[in-house]
Amino acid sequence: MRSLPWILMLGLLLACSETTGDDDDSATADDDDAGDDDAAGDDDADGPAELAALSDGDCPQMPTSGSYTIESSGEERAFTLMLPEGGAEGAPLLFFFHGLLSPDYSTDPAGDTASALGLQSMANEMGAIIVAPEARILQLVGDVYLWELMENDDLDIVFYDDLRTCMATELGADPWRVTSSGFSSGALFTTVLARERGDTLAAILELSGGADVEVALMPLIARYDTPTHDIPALLVSGGEDDAWPEGFSVIDFQTATDTLQEALLDDGQYVVRCQHDAGHTVTSPALPVMKSWLFGHTYGGGSPFQDQGIADFGAWCEVP
């Protein structure tokens, strides 16, 4: 199975591991007590959460695809925007969150990830708006681009709120068709987003992510809590070698994905699981599955794949 560029193999300093697939040639707005129920919160008949007021300043002018900045919570934050060739009005909106990277390796982690995954081509093909936000530079072992996964602050959540508002008000993105995806630490942040802003998301897809990661001497990473409404989830993992760093597993993304899968199923969520054996990377068969999943859902509408099945995803995917 061919893997995408090595940039996507860089993970986080915090995660877990899984099992290999059978066929790798196939292709919450707030913390509440929803977890007390056997299933996730009821679908919101009134639709997704209202657009948040901007935390700071105004939306940028975004006439074309490219790199932009926005003032968010008093800081200048960067993002890469992919607009579809056919026009953005009424388009679905995908957020894709990059993995951990060192500034010595990349000074444009969002743009480099978008290029590696071909997100502009995906935007054109699917008639979608795709936003790749850039994480802040935080200190872990040296400086790294990293999402807030340990509940130290909510700046990245507010950054998401600001971007969601601007994509809807300035470009006409459809608030009913907002999805989130990411790789590695970006996938773990998608878990955080589902917990904190579940009332804005139609579906999620995680590539080597998970939940409730335990690392010695650190707080729990990507803590899971029941989303406020049903969020169909597609989880991809890379088998027993899906760990970071290679050869010395601080984070086992296979186990972390298993943990998230179990928690979602316990909450009555619809989950699809895909497994390859290429380790901590994004494999090319994941791309058509991503397109089908991320642009096939509408807020509060369940998952169309519950009825139509996932045979087109290939034998490496199953409904657990």
Determine contact, residues 178/92, Cβ cutoff 8 Å: yes
Q: Cα 234 to the chain's mean position, in Å?
A: 10
Q: Where are the alpha helices (DSSP H) in 84-202?
A: 109-117, 119-126, 155-171, 185-196
Q: At 212, which amino acid appears?
A: D
Q: Tell whether 44 is covered by a domain.
A: yes
Q: At 34, is the secondary structure helix, strand, or coil?
A: helix
Preceding omega of 92 cis (within 30 degrees of 0): no
Whole-angstrom distance, CA of residue 308 vs CA of residue 315: 16
Q: Tell whether 1 is covered by a domain.
A: no
Q: Tell whether 106 is covered by a domain.
A: yes
Q: Tell whether 122 is covered by a domain.
A: yes
Whole-angstrom distance, CA of residue 25 vs CA of residue 305: 21
Q: pTM for this structure?
A: 0.86
Length of the chain, in residues: 320
Q: Spell out the per-residue pLDDT of the chain, length 320, in tens.
A: 333 333 333 333 333 323 333 333 333 333 344 334 444 444 445 799 999 999 999 999 999 999 999 999 999 999 999 999 989 999 999 999 999 988 999 999 999 999 999 999 999 999 999 999 999 999 877 899 999 999 999 999 999 999 999 999 999 999 999 999 999 999 999 999 999 999 999 999 999 999 999 887 778 999 999 998 899 999 999 999 998 766 667 889 999 999 999 999 999 999 999 999 999 999 999 999 999 999 999 999 999 999 999 999 999 999 99
Range of the domain at 271: 6-318
- Going by their DSSP bridges, the two strands 136-140 and 129-133 should be labelled as unpaired
Q: What CATH number has the domain bearing residue 16?
A: 3.40.50.1820
